[in-house]
Chain A
Amino acid sequence: DAMVIQNPRYQVTQFGKPVTLSCSQTLNHNVMYWYQQKSSQAPKLLFHYYDKDFNNEADTPDNFQSRRPNTSFCFLDIRSPGLGDAAMYLCATGPRRDGNQPQHFGDGTRLSIL
């Protein structure tokens, strides 16, 4: 089945140690999104790619960066994780930039900071 896959499902890193989360999709969608979701809160958009065009949300910390080497893969890099970055990170895809169809979400990576 076509889907959005996130690896790993659980990631533990040390305070200040860089970490990379990965996302792959078999839907061939143009748009890929990264969200941060803290406990009992709504997903918060960090940034999205429309093809290779990167779009950062205004309030996304500089600590968070992303790479999209090809249509299928997208990475979230956290350069120096702080305790406040512990959260679920969700990757989603969409066929159109205008959001005129539902997004398809992966099951997330839960990031813990020691």
Chain B
Amino acid sequence: GESVGLHLPTLSVQEGDNSIINCAYSNSASDYFIWYKQESGKGPQFIIDIRSNMDKRQGQRVTVLLNKTVKHLSLQIAATQPGDSAVYFCAEIDTGGFKTIFGAGTRLFVKA
């Protein structure tokens, strides 16, 4: 079946460096994408989203890039901080089919 997958299950970065978390998707009908952050013992929190008519969207210290040609999504975190340590999930949504698919998740470790 179609699924969302991640290239790197674990990422370790030095505090202050930039982080890049990648996600591949395969459902060509997906037209909306979300990144969630899940800290230990908590539910997923919305970070940033992007619609399929865009290639890039920026938030505070975070940027999401969407490459529809190769079905690839990435989350960039600038100046990574210890508070960014968490598991990050991408989610792809087919708004026509009411279907949300979560990726496997990437655990980000930030070294002080």
Residues in chain A within 8 A of chain B (CB atoms): 4, 40-45, 90, 92, 97-100, 102-108
Contact = CB atoms under 8 A, between A and B. Distances in A.
Given A92-B43, A105-B43, A107-B42, A99 B95 contact: yes
A104 B96 CA distance: 20
Interface residues of B, number: 22
A103 B44 CA distance: 9
A42 B102 contact: yes
B18 interface: no
A99 B104 CA distance: 19
B98 A97 contact: yes
B43 A106 contact: yes
Contact of A105 (B44, B104, B105, B107): B44
Contacts of A44: 102
Contacts of B32: 99-100
8 smallest beta-carbon distances between A and B, as pairs:
A105-B43, A42-B102, A102-B46, A98-B95, A99-B93, A100-B95, A107-B43, A105-B44
Contacts of A97: 98
A2 to B, nearest CB: 14
A92 B36 CA distance: 13
Nearest to B96: A98
Contact of A100 (B93, B103, B105): B93
Chain B interface mostly: strand
23 contacts: A41-B105, A42-B102, A90-B44, A97-B98, A98-B96, A98-B98, A99-B32, A99-B93, A99-B95, A99-B100, A100-B32, A100-B95, A102-B36, A102-B49, A103-B44, A103-B100, A104-B46, A105-B43, A105-B44, A105-B45, A106-B43, A107-B42, A108-B42
Interface of B: 32, 34, 36, 41-46, 49, 89, 93, 95-96, 98-100, 102-105, 107
